[in-house]
Amino acid sequence: MKRKFYSELVSTSLDNELISDSCCEKILSSTEIELLPLLDSAYQIRKTYFQNKVQLHILNNAQNGNCPEDCFYCVQAKTATTDIDTYSLKSESEVLAEAERAYQSGAYRYCIVMSGRGPSPKRVDQLANLIQTVKTKYPLEVCLSVGLIDEPAAHTLKDAGLDRLNHNLNTSESHYPKICTTHTYQDRMDTLRAAQSAGLACCSGVIVGMGEQNEDLIRVAKELRSLEVESIPVNFFLPIDGTQLKDTPSMTPDYCLRVLCLYRFINPRAEIRVAAGREHHLRGMEVMSLYPANSMFVEGYLNATGKETSRTFQMIQDAGFTIEANGDISELSHHAKVEKEGVLLKELEVLRPRMGSNS
Ligand code: SF4
């Protein structure tokens, strides 16, 4: 593909103009569009708004499992048979201890996540108190993921100091009935609108690889743009035994990176987070996700583990990016010290297998 295609992508995105559906489709599937110039184009936009900074997020599963909903991708769904540890809302002291650890690990944002359809008014008050305490003790941005909420609940949480509400769209409206039957896409949109009407910033993203078509991913990217969400987690579906969606087609690292680039072009000023599944799907090309994305999770995801924090720090620094933290960054350098392994010499049975085995 000619250089002009890539330079037009950059200028269209920087001018905050919308890329056509046919161009989006090409980005995702045309072999004429090469990955490296595409990543370079996405990087130019990322650098304009976020320089070389990377925000790190740490999740706290404040309540796990026993969900009455049937999201087909989720191990916490009532329909999932996966053997997970379930528990009701953690005590205040547990949540505070984990907030302190997140702060000391260099997290920019601390994400409190609860399973369930949505909180009762009593639970909203409890969460509001908890958020107020965390915000008073630690200079962390706090994000809450709590299912469906209405406007009064959103106002209570905003007044308590909540910075952001997370509620993913996950997939397009037309694909939604294929991933969940107990609530609708519209329910999710209503929650985002309630949060915005209370003045809360919104974090809302997508799960790639749940049997959708490219056009579904394009539609979600454009919906998130029209909602002007501040933060977009791009998750790559992790097929876990026991969920209803475990048999899905695999994705290549090339495709996953194209999706991240697409989300950057359509949402140039949004924080794009490479979220669940980065290790599993991007494999050796994981570091390249930093060119379109400017944030990532450390210490794993909801119910799946991730790469060691020290290795993530090392990857970020090796590629010339810097960690944006709320704490003193010099205090964090020890996290990046991955133990260096000595160089081992090959032994004879590796160099000359026949001689090695005869000796
Ligand atoms: S995604 Fe949330 S609402 Fe859906 S089953 Fe899992 S915990 Fe419940």
* Whether the CB of 147 sits within 6 Å of ligand 1: yes
347 lies in some domain = no
Number of domains observed in the structure of the chain: 1
Pocket test for ligand 1, best of 63, 75, 76 (most atoms within 8 A of CB): 76
320: CA distance to ligand 1 center in Å? 37
Which of 52, 32, 21 has the alpha carbon at shortest distance from 265?
Answer: 21
- State both tokens at 347: 């032994």
277: CA distance to ligand 1 center in Å? 17
114: CA distance to ligand 1 center in Å? 9
102 lies in some domain = yes
Q: What is the pLDDT of residue 324?
A: 83
* Whether the CB of 67 sits within 6 Å of ligand 1: yes
- Residue 226: partners with Cβ closer than 8 Å, 6 or more residues away: none
d(CA 231, CA 219): 17
* Whether the CB of 71 sits within 6 Å of ligand 1: yes
- State both tokens at 207: 């799960």
- State both tokens at 187: 């329910």
- Residue 246: partners with Cβ closer than 8 Å, 6 or more residues away: 239, 240
- State both tokens at 138: 């630690």
60 lies in some domain = yes
292 lies in some domain = yes
359 lies in some domain = no
**Cα–Cα separations (whole angstroms), residue 309 to 237, 300, 333, 337, 338:** 21, 9, 12, 10, 10
Tens-digit pLDDT profile for the chain (359 aa)? 688 999 999 999 999 999 999 999 999 999 999 999 999 999 999 999 999 999 887 777 777 777 888 899 988 888 888 877 787 878 888 888 888 888 877 777 888 888 889 999 999 999 999 999 989 988 888 999 999 999 999 999 999 999 999 999 999 999 999 999 999 999 999 999 999 999 999 999 999 999 999 999 999 999 999 999 999 999 999 888 888 887 788 899 999 999 999 999 999 999 999 998 888 899 999 999 999 999 998 765 555 555 677 788 889 999 999 988 665 555 555 555 555 557 878 788 888 787 665 55
Which of 132, 136, 149 has the alpha carbon at shortest distance from 193?
Answer: 149
Pocket test for ligand 1, best of 59, 115, 145, 188 (most atoms within 8 A of CB): 115
* Whether the CB of 69 sits within 6 Å of ligand 1: yes
Q: State the closest ligand 1 atom to the C-alpha of 75, by its place in the atom list counted from 1.
A: 6
Annotate 111-168 with DSSP letters as a single string.
Answer: EEEE-SS---HHHHHHHHHHHHHHHHH---EEEEE-S---HHHHHHHHHTT--EEE--
C-alpha 163 chain-centroid distance: 17
Pocket test for ligand 1, best of 63, 71, 75, 185 (most atoms within 8 A of CB): 71
55: CA distance to ligand 1 center in Å? 25
* Whether the CB of 115 sits within 6 Å of ligand 1: yes
Residue with CA closest to ligand 1 atom 4: 71
pTM: 0.88
What are the residues facing 162 on neighbouring strands? none
The CATH number of the domain where 141 resides is what? 3.20.20.70
Domain range for 19 is 3-336
* Whether the CB of 113 sits within 6 Å of ligand 1: no
Contact 242, 80 (CB under 8 A): yes
342 lies in some domain = no
Residue with CA closest to ligand 1 atom 7: 115
67: CA distance to ligand 1 center in Å? 6
Q: State the closest ligand 1 atom to the C-alpha of 68, by its place in the atom list counted from 1.
A: 8
199 lies in some domain = yes
34 lies in some domain = yes
Kindly report each contact of residues 331-339 with a partner whose C-beta sits within 8 Å and lies 24 or more positions away, as own/partner.
331/104, 332/105, 332/106, 335/105, 335/106, 335/309, 335/310, 336/310, 337/310, 338/310, 338/311, 338/314
Q: State the closest ligand 1 atom to the C-alpha of 180, by its place in the atom list counted from 1.
A: 4
